[in-house]
């Protein structure tokens, strides 16, 4: 039998892929950032709601930078783990 020109082996393996512990850990870090921001916002809103957005703007920008870095790291982890396992379960 001739080998098919278009490979779908990795696509089929990816259908049942599970998230690795490393990816879950990064997702938890992203969730922690969200919790930190929400907590700071809640505190700020509790004592000075009219200026809360101004007060937290720079803080939020820094958290967004961290979030972007976490996404890059998560992408690297996913890429490396996917290739190392041939897109099979981790």
Q: Is residue 27 part of a domain?
A: yes
Q: Is residue 54 part of a domain?
A: yes
0.75 exceeded by the pTM? no
pLDDT tens-place values along the chain, 90 residues long: 566 767 777 777 777 767 888 888 888 998 999 899 889 888 888 888 888 888 889 999 999 999 999 999 999 988 888 888 777 765
> What total number of domains does the chain contain?
1
Q: Is residue 4 part of a domain?
A: no
Q: Is residue 8 part of a domain?
A: no
Summarize pLDDT for 20-40 with one digit per residue, the tens.
888 888 889 989 998 998 898
Question: Among candidates 64, 4, 86, 87, which has minimal Cα distance to 56?
Answer: 64
Token pair 């396992």 in the structure block, residue: 85
Helix or strand holding residue 66 (H, E): helix 52-84
Q: Is residue 10 part of a domain?
A: no
Q: What is the per-residue pLDDT for 72? A: 95
Residue 75, domain extent: 17-84
Q: Is residue 12 part of a domain?
A: no
Q: What is the per-residue pLDDT for 75? A: 92
């Amino acid at each position: 039998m001739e080998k098919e020109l278009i490979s779908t082996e990795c696509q089929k393996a990816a259908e049942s892929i599970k998230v690795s512990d490393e990816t879950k850990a990064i997702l938890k870090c992203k969730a922690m950032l969200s919790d930190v921001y929400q907590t700071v916002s809640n505190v700020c809103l509790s004592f000075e709601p009219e200026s809360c957005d101004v007060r937290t703007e720079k803080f939020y920008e820094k958290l967004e930078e961290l979030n972007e870095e976490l996404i890059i790291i998560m992408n690297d982890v996913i890429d490396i783990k996917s290739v190392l396992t041939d897109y099979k379960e981790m």
